[in-house]
Amino acid sequence: MLWDLETYNWLTNSVMNPAIAWLGTLAVQTTWPWIQPYYAKLAALVGNWANPAGAVQAVVLAYRQTVSASTLPCDNLDASGAPCADAYSPTRALYSTYNGPMYQVTRASDGTTKDIYPLDPGGDVDAAAQDSFCFGTTCTITKVYDESPDWDDLTVSQGGGAAPSPDHPVYAAALPIQIGGTNEAYGMDFTGAMGYRDNSAQNTATDGEQEGMYMVASGTNVNNGCCFDFGNAETSSDDKGAGHMDAVNLSTTCFFESVAPCTGSGPWVQADLENGLYNGGNGSNAANTGNNSDFVTAVLNNDGQANYELEGGNAQSGGVAGVFNNSIKRIKGDKIEGFESKAKSERPWV
């Protein structure tokens, strides 16, 4: 399998390096009619000629774009031309082909670790493996694996900058749920200073590039603490000023309450752009009334310069609805540098 390090090294050294020069010659001969349908994928490979790891990832991405009739999120996004840069879930695979580890648990009794996998490629998590490993003791989730070709795994935030103290891992069995009423799984229940991040993520937006992100989280176990976010942030783990962050937030925090009260009681899908949570323009948005369903899909899309869009909806039924789509000068010239999934509020991420 691709995620095995030995196989990865073999692909890089024995296959990709010798093939790159040949592909470089082949791809430029675009007058050959048969090559036209494949040119974009070949160009992606050749574009990574100086980066063997990137070339291998491009091969995987090209393969995944051929998947059809899939209902899994990252297959659909890849096929639409907007591939998942990073993909995390402790409950199910996000690609129909994924059969690698989903998360790692660490046992309190002896400090040993175990990776938890899906039951089948593209399937739900094998929660029974966690139950067996953690029987008679407690376990924490110490790593969340990236299912995308970028392999940007999340580990417990170590602090730095404005947050000098390290965060703590979530307890692995704190949020038992069922998928489809039958399959056991565990969400991630964040309480207090718990969070995960990767300060060396690949292929995430930088220097004001456009991007989108979504998370599925609880709409019932929430508070107004700062900050339950999923998205991009500074690689320094420090607040480098307004506009240096790009993350979707779901909480009952009404950042501009003193200027224009929020509508309803929340929680609201908002954009955390560093030093400000925005639920519509520079203040209140009457259309963003919040969503307190058991599980909420929260979406943030933007062009990285002056426009952003928020969407939210019940993750268990129906679709998402736009709660804001307008321009804002607030993120003009932002520099999104890293990737962060950080939680300070008491709310699960699943």
> 197, 157 in Cβ contact below 8 A?
yes
Q: Which residues contact 316 (CB under 8 A, 6 or more apart)?
A: 293, 294, 295
Length of the chain: 350
Burial of 285 (0-12, 13-18, 19+ CB in 10 A): buried
Q: Which residues contact 307 (CB under 8 A, 6 or more apart)?
A: 326, 327, 328
Three-state secondary-structure class, residue 74: helix
Q: Is 274 a catalytic residue?
A: yes
Q: Which of 217, 203, 209 is nearest to 146 (CA)?
A: 203
The tokens describing 75, both together, are 């297959």
Q: Tell me how far apart the alpha carbons of residues 111 and 31 are, in angstroms, rounded to a whole number.
A: 60
Burial of 238 (0-12, 13-18, 19+ CB in 10 A): middle
> 177, 221 in Cβ contact below 8 A?
no
Candidate list 234, 274, 311, 337, residue with the active-site label: 274
The tokens describing 176, both together, are 């038992």
Q: Where are the beta strands (DSSP E) in 168-264?
A: 176-179, 183-186, 188-190, 194-198, 211-218, 229-232, 246-251
What is the tally of helices (H) and strands (E) in the chain? 6, 18
The tokens describing 199, both together, are 């300060």
CA distances to 219, 231, 259 from 249, rounded to whole Å, are 12, 9, 20
Three-state secondary-structure class, residue 153: coil
Name residue 188's amino acid. Answer: M
CA distances to 119, 235, 271 from 240, rounded to whole Å, are 42, 10, 17
Name residue 226's amino acid. Answer: C
Residues acting as catalytic residues:
274
